[in-house]
Structure 1
Amino acid sequence: MFVFLTLALVCAAAASSGYGAPTYNQPAPTYRGSAPSYGSYGSYGSYSSESSSSSEEHHRRHCKKLKDLPLDAANKPDGRDAKFSPLERKGKHYTKISCPNDGNRYVLLGDKTGTKVTWTGGSNDNSILLAEGVNIDVVAHCKGKRTYVEAVNGDRVRIKKVVCVKIDVPVTTF
């Protein structure tokens, strides 16, 4: 009986102090700057497939689709097409470049004259390493018809062509 009375007293005290009660009369919080975004790629907004075609046309004017990078003859069987997804953040346009997500290890190569990427069992001339691993994505910044991305070595490079190459072992030289 004493436990029941003590529990009732604690519940009555909690209810009268407002603990756990919703506050309907308080104003909504205000945010400085833009409100937080949820459910998109990082803090980038994404164009959904249900959006109007005019927004996708607007993105196409800012982000030119990249072409396929030609591979050396020995690597052609392992080459895969990269996928592109439009993104927008604070009025700037980006493109997410992705390699297939099939559990295999890939390298994402971009075009750069005079450089060579080498891995055990293969290499590719006139290319630069943009990413390496399983389920890789890279975000490239679009400025008109130009597309810029940060390579693995930290350089900001302009790219026109990309390709995904399936590999078995990590890259040795880039």
Structure 2
Amino acid sequence: MKSIVVYCGSNPGTNPLYQKVAEELGQKFAEKEIRLIYGGGNIGLMRAVADGVLQNGGQVTGVITNFLAELEVAHETLTELHFVETMHERKFKMVQFAKGVIALPGGYGTFDELFEILTWRQLQLYNGPVAVLNVNGFYDLLLLQLDRMVADGFLKAENRELLIVSETIEDIMLKIEEFWEQAI
């Protein structure tokens, strides 16, 4: 587990807990010498997780589109920052670098990234673990929707199980490590 993608909001959210957890996840990455791969922004939870890594001596790779670099203001003190033209290139390049994905709370962009990587995982285009850190029950309703999709025959139960769910940083890191131990 040398690198993990984190999908998260370009806003901080209304609950300070979200930013606190993002910073703590970044700190945990630095402690475990895991490189953060993320969208390269300098705002919201994106900044919090990146700063959590950087302030604790860790490595961060950002991948941002040229147009978002102007809108979100690209984080300028990262270990590496890659610029791409399209959102698809951004998502593809991020997972090329990573051995796992964790989604924190976020908006449409976070959900877009999460569902695309789950689709890639289902189609075996990506073989790493995909997880959500269910901070403050943020993903509870989404998880209910996934269960409804299984119940109504739109999602196979084994594909529902592709999503790792955890409520704590320690547990999510353990589950990702266990994923790779079982894969070997």
As a proportion of its length, which structure holds more strand?
1
TM-score (norm 1): 0.23
TM-score (norm 2): 0.22
As a proportion of its length, which structure holds more helix?
2
Bigger CA radius of gyration = 1
